[in-house]
Amino acid sequence: MTKDSSKNTLKASLPRGLRDIKNSELSLIKGLTSKIIPVYESYGFEELSTPSFEYTSALGKFLPDSDRPNAGVFSFQDDDEKWLSLRYDLTSPLARYVAENYDKITKPYKRYQLGNVWRNEKPGPGRYREFLQLDADIIGSISYGVDAELIMLSADSMSSLGLSDENYNIRVSSRKLLDAILELVSDSEDIDEVRRLTILRAIDKLDRVGIDGVQRLLSEGRKDESGDYTIGARLQKDSISKILDFISIDSESRDGFLSQAVELVGKNDLGQSAIEELEEINKILEKLNYNKSVIFDSSIVRGLEYYTGVIFEANLVSTDNEKDLPIIGSVGGGGRYDELISRFRRDEVGASGFSIGISRLCTVMQMMDFEILDEFYGPILILNMDKDYEYSYYQMAQELRASGIKAEVYLGMAGMKAQMKYADKKNSPLVIIEGTVEREKGIVTIKNLIKGKEVSASIGSRDNWIKNNEIQFEVDRNEVVREISQILKINIT
C-alpha cells in the first residue's frame, strides 16, 4: 500500500506561550514538591483541590467592563450563557471555597494546594500561559503572626531544597506603605483607580526595566525592546520623586529600612499601621534567627490587585558573578488579602497566603545550574536478547518491580548496540543481559552504567574497562534482585 502524497496533513504546533514538559523536568518537579510539601504539612497545612475553572464572577479578576471578560484570563460561555474562566491563581478559588463552607471549616483554616493555573498574557523567558503553583494560605486571622509564619514558611521551603542563605532571599514590604505614599502624592494631583494601578505596575517592573524605566512609566510612558509602547501614569515631577525615593529605600538592614520608611510616610495613618506590623514581624524573625534570608524591600508590589497588607517574594540569587543570567522575576510570593473573601460575605475575613511557582522555580534552577536535587535515574533496562525466552525477561522485571525497583524490558527489534544506546537515553543505572550463554550457566550479566560513567575518564583502554568488575560482572539468576538492591543503595541515594 502506497502513501497518498496528496493528502493534507495538519501542522503539529503548540499555541504560543504553552509547552510540553519532558520527563527530566517532570522528575525535577516531583523532587521539588516532595521536599516542599512536607514543610507545608509540618506547619499544619492540609491539602485541598479545587476545579480548574470557576464562574468568572467568582474568580474576581477585577476585569475591565467588556462583553468578553478575557483580559488576563481564558474565558468561555457555558450552555446556560454564564461566563466561566480558567483559574489564574489558586487563591480566588480558595476564597470561593471558604465562603461556601465557612461554617464547616476549622478556623484559622490552613490549606495547601498544588495545581496548574492559566494566564492570558504576553509570554516571556520563564513566563508561560500555563504553569504549576504550590500554595499555602491561612484564613480567619488578622494577626501579624500569620504573616510572620508564612514568611518563615517561604524561607524554610527554599532551605528544604538545599539552598543556603546566599542562594535565596525573601523580600518583604507592605501594600499599606505603597498606599501611604500614593496618598501623599494625591495631595498634589488626582490619583484615580486606573492611575493607581498604572503606578503599581510601573513599580513592579523595577527588576526588569531599572529605575530609569520606572521613571518613564511614571511619566509619559516607555517603549520596550519589542517595540510595544506602554502609556505612563503621567505624574508630576514632585510626585515621581516621592515614589522613586520610596522604592530606593536602602534594604541593607531591616531596622534601617523601617527608620527610613518612617521618615517618608510621616504621620500618615496607613503608613504608621504598616510600619507597626512590619516591626512586630521583624521581632519574631530576629528571635527565630531569620536574619540573613529575609530582607525588607520597598520595591515589592506583587502583581495581583487583591493584596491589602504585608506582601513578600522569594527569589533565587546567583553567587557566580560571571554568569549573565536573564531576569525573570521571583519564584514565589504572597501576602495579606483581607478583603477577597468578603466579596462573598458581609463580614471581613482575615487571610494571607504564599505561593511557589513550581514551573518558574524549575526554569530558574536550570538557568542558574543549581545542583539541588539528587541525579534522576531511569528504570533498569533488561536487554531483549532472545525472543523465544522473552518471558524470562518479563519475569526479571516483575521481580524487580515487586521489590520497588523500576525496571523495563526493551520492546524494540534492534540489536544490542542500539539497546545500550536506548538505556543511555533513558538514563538507566544498570543493564541486565541474559543471552544463551548466561541462561545455560544460570547467570545474568549486569552492566553498571553509573560506575561506568564515573571511571570512564580514568581508564585508558576498552579492554581494561571491560575487565573492571565494578562495571561489568556476573550474578546468579536467583540473586538478581538482592544484588541490584545493594548496588542501588550504594549509588542512588
- Give residue-wise pLDDT tens across range 225-258: 777 888 888 888 988 898 899 888 887 789 999 9
**pLDDT exceeds 60 at position 67:** no
- Give residue-wise pLDDT tens across range 420-471: 999 998 889 999 999 999 999 999 999 998 887 766 655 555 555 555 667 8
**132 vs 358: CA distance, rounded Å:** 5
Between CA 138 and CA 329, with CA 152 as vertex, the angle to 5 degrees is 90
- Give residue-wise pLDDT tens across range 343-354: 899 888 999 999
| H helix intervals, 80-205 | 91-100, 144-159, 175-185, 193-204
- Give residue-wise pLDDT tens across range 133-186: 999 999 999 999 999 999 999 999 999 998 888 889 999 999 999 889 888 888
**pLDDT exceeds 50 at position 275:** yes
Coil/strand/helix, residue 353: strand
Residue with cell 542512588: 492
**pLDDT exceeds 80 at position 374:** no
Amino acid present at 459: I
Residue 122 banded pLDDT, cuts 50, 70, 90: confident
**pLDDT exceeds 80 at position 324:** no
Residue 63 banded pLDDT, cuts 50, 70, 90: very low
**437 vs 417: CA distance, rounded Å:** 18
Between CA 216 and CA 223, with CA 218 as vertex, the angle to 5 degrees is 35
Most confident of 100-114, 201-215, 301-315, 470-484: 100-114
> CB–CB of 360/131 below 8 Å?
yes
- Residue 64's pLDDT is 41
* Average pLDDT of the residues in 480-486: 90
380-491, superfamily in CATH?
Anticodon-binding domain (3.40.50.800)
Listed in sequence order, the residues at least 6 apart from 57 whose beta carbon sits closer than 8 Å to its beta carbon are: 83
**423 vs 429: CA distance, rounded Å:** 8
**pLDDT exceeds 90 at position 207:** no
Coil/strand/helix, residue 213: helix
Question: Which range, of 64-68, 238-242, 410-414, averages the lowest pLDDT?
Answer: 64-68
Residue 493 banded pLDDT, cuts 50, 70, 90: very low
- Residue 464's pLDDT is 55
* Average pLDDT of the residues in 284-309: 88
**200 vs 214: CA distance, rounded Å:** 10
- Residue 292's pLDDT is 87
* Average pLDDT of the residues in 353-379: 79
- Residue 210's pLDDT is 87
- Would you tell me the crossing angle of helices 193-204 and 206-218 to the nearest 10 degrees? 140
- Residue 61's pLDDT is 58
- Domain residue ranges in the chain: 23-52+87-189+236-368, 380-491
Please state the pTM of the whole predicted model: 0.81
* Average pLDDT of the residues in 94-110: 95
Does 23-52+87-189+236-368 match 380-491 in CATH topology?
no
Cell of 4: 497518498
- Residue 454's pLDDT is 66
What's the mean pLDDT when you consider all of the chain?
86
Sheet holding 294-296, edge to edge: 46-47, 109-118, 130-139, 351-357, 332-336, 310-316, 168-174, 294-296
The CATH code of domain 23-52+87-189+236-368 reads: 3.30.930.10
* Average pLDDT of the residues in 203-227: 85
